[in-house]
Structure 1
């Protein structure tokens, strides 16, 4: 007994020493489509998150005077709502302290209920459907402008700047595609009530053959075709428009507004024939800040930024800053700090309104010249 009693205090002391030496780990989840047609966009988002986490850890991330390690847990939702909810539950079960994602509106909305029920804050860097932040979930935020602004701005631009008088609309029936197309129509009609919507057609996010839809549209001779969907569908659609001899201008939202669109469209991209918009955009001195980020990104990953890597990067930084301000990674404690955050990021000032939408969100309009994505202007 004497031998045993001497060992017990020693064992306890060693256990406590191990606990004291162990560094606290804060888990941040990230979800995007890493497989499927939008994998190039999902990987871009994931890289932005990794870059932020690695930089924060390299600097020695501190909470309440103690160094902690940030751990990124990445999941693939394949842009599929069912897989999106499955990986959302997986992150909840892993007890993540916060989530950055999802990329698509169609996965972000159903996943947001799971995070909300678990009390886990979520910042989407790219989901633009207004539904996401209008559900009343206290922990739902986004760092880009929503479809009301994006689609509406494009609709007004189509009539006012491009002179469209007859327009055909196609959407891919996803939450994003349908939402941005509907807002486009509202924006166009608000600017010019007499504009003619000569056709409204539907496809799906995995379609490759648009012959029937485009043949129907061609007969109606529109000045402009608006597509609500992603570049993986918009590119082949442009190629088939060219083959069918459709000369209408082509327009879409951030889903098609990628460097990859020209490659996917081939000679269907035309010269300044395509207009698209990204949610987000910077002007003035902020342009150099964003350019520095894209340079660092390319050096790190040997790849160009697709669209939203800078917004993912800022979303991580915003969440980490809220934790530092609260001196805690406990969601209940840092959520109030997230609501009142004022963070100067690489994409500009990040502040949220009462719904969790970014305040004074900007949009950037682009076209394609000589196969290159070319900025037209930033609008607010």
Structure 2
């Protein structure tokens, strides 16, 4: 494959993370979306594509108009266990899919970090949590259902816990000055300082301080947003949400996003078919139970090459970058699983689900993924 020239726009956690791929495969390189498409650049775009429907549509249109490749980072499509789920569904090993149940356990401290104290806490400055965190997951449901289009969606959810009225008696405004901090699971001292004292230097420590030592992190907690009491922040996004779907031929699916979990982003999936079940715990092997034989079969999944820098999302970050670089270097978009119209349809489904939640009604999805 020929080498690829790459420009990284935005050096946040995801942009700087994906750049690590070049350290592992330098021979495959040399050392904002609509504008880049108009300049003829192929684009690897972090999800969400944009925070409005119109902007999402414009990005997809610009890429198609300029005949450039767009790979939206629905990274879970490249996650080996979840790819295995897709492979097993298409192999007909469980017959016709009747229902899918899919859960994203965000993790109690992860939610506090990102969606209570962090950058995605407030809708007006970022977006609603279903789009920011879980457009991955609604994309997966469409992906697994294949040719069967979603026809209706409903949703319920709220900001349940991280509110002023739930602040413990005697709690301070900052964790470093709080008399009840030791009994709070969302203590910033526990989430950040304890990790630093154990010499941990990666995310989320590297988000709150450029120098990940005890002194710098302590100062960041004393004066910055990540040291605030979770019950006194300006957050307003949902900490729990369920979404229900009807697909063509009466197939159904449900998705749960929940903050209050031990596991961090380790998705749990059950696919119920007419001849068996598929179970994935988000990492490791995938299991198939066969109704005819009453036996369970284990299916192992791929892992990224050993020693690579890019190991996030269970290796999916590596496989995503590998697919995009391969597509660009060979001028073959078939390597990309999340092209313009496919990614757009998934984003529009997220907007429809949130509309259903806000308006407390069932939304009907049209063939072009507009809705009513």
Superposition TM-score, scaled by structure 2 size? 0.36
Q: Greater helix percent: which structure?
A: 1
